[in-house]
Amino acid sequence: MLICSLDALGKQTMSLGLQHTHFVALLLYLLVGQSADQVTEEKPHVRPLPARGFGAVELRCGLSTTYDAASSGAGFTIKATIESESRSLEIEGAERNPTTTEYDEWTMHEPVMGGRVEKLVMRHANDWYLAVRSDTGLVRIDRWQLERTSGAYGTDRRVSATAIGTALVTPPLITTIEGVTYVVPKLRSRPTFTKSVVHPGLALERIVGLNIDPDGRFLLALIDLGDNFTELRRISLLDPVGTTETLLDSKTVPMLAQAGGVGLLQHRGLGRAIAIRSGGDSIYLWDRENDGDFERVELMSWYYDVREYPIECWVASY
Closest CA to 99 of 165, 33, 26, 166: 33
Q: What is the pLDDT of residue 279?
A: 84
Q: What is the pLDDT of residue 7?
A: 35
- Distances from the Cα of 275 to the Cα of 231, 279, 318, angstroms: 14, 13, 11
Closest CA to 114 of 142, 91, 90: 142
Q: What is the pLDDT of residue 11?
A: 52
Neighbours of 236 (CB within 10 A): 18
Neighbours of 64 (CB within 10 A): 11
Q: What is the pLDDT of residue 157?
A: 96
- Point out the residues of the chain with pLDDT beneath 50: 1-10, 13, 15-61
- Distances from the Cα of 24 to the Cα of 28, 222, 242, 274, angstroms: 11, 13, 25, 7
The helix (H) or strand (E) run that includes residue 206 is strand 206-212
Q: What is the pLDDT of residue 12?
A: 56
DSSP 8-state class, residue 295: -
28-30 and 69-73 strand pairing: unpaired
Q: At CB < 8 A and 24+ separation, what contacts does 47-55 make?
A: 47/311, 48/311, 49/25, 52/24, 52/26, 52/277, 52/280, 52/302, 52/305, 52/306, 53/26, 53/277, 54/24, 54/25, 54/260, 54/261, 54/263, 54/277, 55/25, 55/27, 55/28
Closest CA to 172 of 187, 184, 155: 155
Up-side HSE of residue 10: CA atoms within 13 Å toward CB? 11
Q: What is the pLDDT of residue 203?
A: 94
Cα gap 128→155, rounded to integer Å = 12
139-146 and 259-267 strand pairing: unpaired
DSSP 8-state class, residue 311: G
Is residue 1 packed enough to be buried (19+ CB in 10 Å), middle (13-18) or exposed (0-12)? exposed
Which residues have C-beta within 8 Å of that of residue 296, sequence separation ≥ 6? Answer: 13, 14, 15, 16, 285, 286
The helix (H) or strand (E) run that includes residue 308 is helix 302-308
Is residue 128 packed enough to be buried (19+ CB in 10 Å), middle (13-18) or exposed (0-12)? buried
| Domains in the chain: ranges and CATH | 2-317 (2.120.10)
